[in-house]
């Protein structure tokens, strides 16, 4: 599933052709994805201007001139692809329709945004912009890891007394919004914390070291266009490149990259997810 860097990369790719532009025509080619589309979604989108494109956790939010906000979740395999951009950043010719093109937005200036999702775990919803943060999917989210609300004092306080493994705590979207398996593994490696270490066995000072490292990992990934492992593509169809910089994720059996370390990367399963780490460097 795309994590924060991938979703932010897509948002940045969509912004130049969506923000300030009118949706000349919206087409919805099936009744549902992960759950049913909202009533009359195509009609409600057609003619609306996209005033602002933002991200909350792993969701893209398009604030519309109609007073509604379009919520987009990419799911496991969803892609938002742009074609026909008159400014020349994307392929000019619109591609032939594909089987899994579920929602198509033709923008007034000629660009087309196609939501393609073979596995159909993605989702879209429409809600009033005023009070949008109260949407059931958004109301439960913790602070953004790249925002001011995610601080050393916040993290230490939020994790105080917890007996869960640190990796599980960092994946809890109620504590931190947007973190996923890849970037938690990478952040724990950089802070030399074992993914199975119980939170209550870590000092406040050590927990605090996670905050700047989490931010750096996410910023590095965004700068590289995210990570493409299976399905992820940027809005222009290009792959992300951060997977080439992984220190531990997906590197089971390969040498640890810490200078002087002779150990290899190991993998354990935590709550059904693979955790990658160096047993010598991470304690």
What are residue 56's DSSP bridge partners? Answer: 59
Active site annotation includes 273: yes
Q: Which of 25, 34, 267, 273 is catalytic?
A: 273
**Alpha-carbon gap, residue 94 to 98, rounded angstroms:** 11
**Alpha-carbon gap, residue 173 to 176, rounded angstroms:** 5
Instruction: Determine contact, residues 268/195, Cβ cutoff 8 Å.
Output: yes
* Share of the chain residues as helix, strand and coil, in percent rounded to the nearest 5: 30, 25, 50
Q: What are 248's two structure tokens?
A: 């531990």
Instruction: Determine contact, residues 76/231, Cβ cutoff 8 Å.
Output: yes
Q: What are 242's two structure tokens?
A: 């951060």
Residue 225 — left, alpha, or beta (φ > 0 → left; ψ -120 to 50 → alpha)? left
**Alpha-carbon gap, residue 77 to 232, rounded angstroms:** 7
**Alpha-carbon gap, residue 198 to 217, rounded angstroms:** 22
Q: Which of 55, 56, 58, 79 is catalytic?
A: 58
Active site annotation includes 3: yes
What are residue 115's DSSP bridge partners? Answer: 80, 103
> At 128, which helix (H) or strand (E)?
strand 123-128
Backbone angles phi, psi at 58, to 5 degrees: -100, 20
**Alpha-carbon gap, residue 131 to 264, rounded angstroms:** 49
Instruction: Determine contact, residues 199/193, Cβ cutoff 8 Å.
Output: no
Which residues participate in catalysis according to the annotation? 2-3, 58, 273
């Amino acid at each position: 599933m795309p994590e924060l860097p991938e979703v932010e990369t897509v948002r940045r790719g969509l912004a130049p052709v969506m923000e300030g532009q009118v949706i000349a025509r919206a087409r919805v080619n099936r009744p549902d994805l992960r759950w049913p589309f909202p009533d009359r979604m195509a009609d409600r989108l057609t003619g609306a201007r996209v005033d602002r494109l933002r991200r909350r956790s792993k969701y893209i939010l398009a604030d519309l001139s109609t007073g509604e906000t379009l919520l987009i979740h990419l799911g496991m395999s969803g892609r938002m692809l742009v074609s026909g951009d008159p400014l020349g950043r994307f392929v000019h010719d619109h591609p032939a329709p594909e089987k899994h093109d579920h929602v198509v937005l033709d923008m007034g200036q000629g660009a087309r945004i196609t939501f393609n999702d073979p596995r159909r775990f993605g989702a879209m919803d429409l809600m009033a912009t005023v009070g949008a943060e109260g949407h059931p999917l958004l109301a439960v989210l913790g602070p953004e890891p790249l925002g001011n609300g995610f601080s050393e004092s916040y993290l230490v306080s939020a994790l105080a007394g917890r007996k869960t493994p640190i990796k599980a705590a960092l994946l809890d979207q109620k504590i931190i919004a947007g973190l996923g398996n890849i970037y938690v593994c990478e952040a724990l490696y950089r802070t030399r914390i074992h993914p199975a270490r119980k939170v209550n066995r870590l000092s406040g000072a050590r927990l605090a070291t996670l905050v700047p490292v989490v931010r750096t990992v996410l910023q590095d990934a965004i700068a590289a266009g995210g990570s493409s492992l299976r399905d992820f593509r940027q809005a222009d169809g290009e792959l992300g490149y951060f997977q080439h910089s992984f220190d531990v994720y997906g590197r089971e059996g390969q040498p640890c990259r810490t200078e002087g370390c002779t150990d290899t990367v190991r993998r354990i399963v935590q709550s059904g997810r693979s955790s990658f780490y160096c047993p010598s460097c991470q304690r």
